[in-house]
Amino acid sequence: MPLGGIDFGFKGAALAGMVTLFSAILTGSTLDHEMIRMAETHDFETPRRMGHFCLAIDPARFAGRALYDEAITRYLAALRTSAAREGQSVMAPGDREWAVEVERQRSGIPVDRETAQFLGLIP
């Protein structure tokens, strides 16, 4: 299995390390453990020197677009139908965000009072 298998593996550590490698080490930015917290702080002035990394992959240049489309469809179906905790479901990346988008299109975007006042939405 990728990144360590089912019974014994370190997927989280491997993925976190890869993200740190790409977004901090290769860009010369702040390492994870040195990053100043961005929540639960009143310090919004100190620069965080946060790095970013983007990777674009064209599936057509690998196994081919048709094979990719068929395989990703099967993968997402298997992922979404995986066993989940009672009362929950397994979601693929983006599922929650798309559900929130539908809900917000239906009922609007929640805005706290201070922000609404700042934007002039309420007196």
* Domain count within the chain: 1
Quickly state the pLDDT bin for 67 (edges 50, 70, 90): very high
The token duo for 47 is 């620069």
Assigned domain for 7 exists? yes
* % pLDDT > 90, the chain: 70
pTM for the full predicted model = 0.59
Domain membership of residue 94 as a residue range: 2-109
The single residue listed with the structure tokens 């990394």 is: 53
Give the 3-state secondary structure of residue 120.
coil
Residue 116 covered by a domain: no
Instruction: Yes or no: say if 106 and 112 are a contact pair by the CB < 8 Å rule.
Output: no
Whether 7 shows a pLDDT value over 90: the answer reads: no
Are the CB atoms for 30 and 23 separated by under 8 Å?
no
Helix (H), strand (E) counts: the chain: 4, 0
In a domain, 122, yes or no: no
The CA-based diameter of the chain, rounded to the nearest angstrom, is 57
Residue 6, in any domain of the structure? yes
